[in-house]
Amino acid sequence: MEESPRGRGRQVRSRKARDLKGGIALRDTIYRAALEGISDAAGKLHIGPESLREAVRVEPSGFTVIFTVDASDSMGSVERLAAAKGAALYLLSQAYVRRLKVGMVVFRGESAYTVLEPTSSLSLVRRQLAALSIGEATPLAAGLVKSRELALQVLDRDGSGTALIAVLTDGEANVPLTRGRMTHEELYEMAPSLVHPRIRYLFLDTSPGEPGALIRRLAAQTGGRYLHLNTGESGDLIKALKGQKG
C-alpha cells in the first residue's frame, strides 16, 4: 500500500522523524530513546531529536465501480434492456454490501457522457438506471475511452484505489472514434491502451443467441472477464454474475 501523502489513515510503521506529517509515533519514540539509554542527570528518560520517530500512515484504498451502459437503439428490445438493468442492479447490490462508490457512463449516438460521478449514494444510480432512454447508434469505443478517463480521475484522487469498469452492451458497435475507420478494427487496436494496473474490466454481453466475438475478444485483450447474459431467467443471470454454471 502507498503512503498517504497527507499523513492520514492508520499507522503501518514508523521511521526517523522527517517532517512529522503523520504525527509522532510515541511508543516507538520512547522505545528508541530507552534502547539508546539517553537520560538526563536525574536519571529521567530524555527524548531528543535523534530518538524521535514519526508515523508512516496509509489511507484505506477505495474500490469504484463504473457502469458503462450501451443506450443505443439496438439495446431497445425488452430482453436486452432487462438483461442490462438486471446485471447492473445485481452489481449495485454487491456495491451496497461492500460500501463501494458507483458511477455511470452512457454511450449512444456519436459520443459517450458521464451521467453520474462516482458516489456512495446508490439510490442515485438506481434512478439513473430507471430513467435510461434508448436510441441512436452504438459508439462503443467512445464509451470505453470515457469510462477509462473517469476511472483515472478517481485513481488520481486515491493513490491506492482500484476501479472496475462494467460494460453492458450487445456488442453491435457501429461508430468509430476516428471517422472513416472500421469500427471493429479500431476497437481491437485501441484495446491494449485501455489496460491499467489498477483498472479491471467486466464485459456483460446482452446479445441474443450465440456470444458475440467482438466483446469476448475485447475482454481478452484488456485482461477482463466476459459474461454472456442469459436474458430468459433472472436466476440464470445471477448465476452467471456469480461465476456459477447454470
Domain with CATH 3.40.50.410 in the chain: 63-241
Name the pTM for this structure: 0.73
Bridge-based pairing state of the strands 101-108 and 199-205? unpaired
Provide the 3-class DSSP secondary structure of residue 229.
Answer: coil
Provide the 3-class DSSP secondary structure of residue 125.
Answer: helix
Q: What is the pLDDT of residues 55-88, one digit of tens each?
A: 888 765 688 999 999 999 988 777 788 878 888 8
Q: What is the pLDDT of residues 174-213, one digit of tens each?
A: 999 999 999 999 999 999 999 999 999 999 988 877 778 9
CA dist., res. 60 & res. 45, Å (int): 36
Tell me yes or no: is domain 63-241 CATH 3.90.1300.10. no
Question: Which strands, in side-by-side order, build the sheet including 225-228?
Answer: 111-119, 101-108, 63-70, 162-169, 199-205, 225-228
Place of cell 460494460: 167
| Crossing angle (nearest 10°) for helices 183-194 and 213-222 | 20
36, 57 contact by CB (below 8 A): no
CA dist., res. 161 & res. 64, Å (int): 8
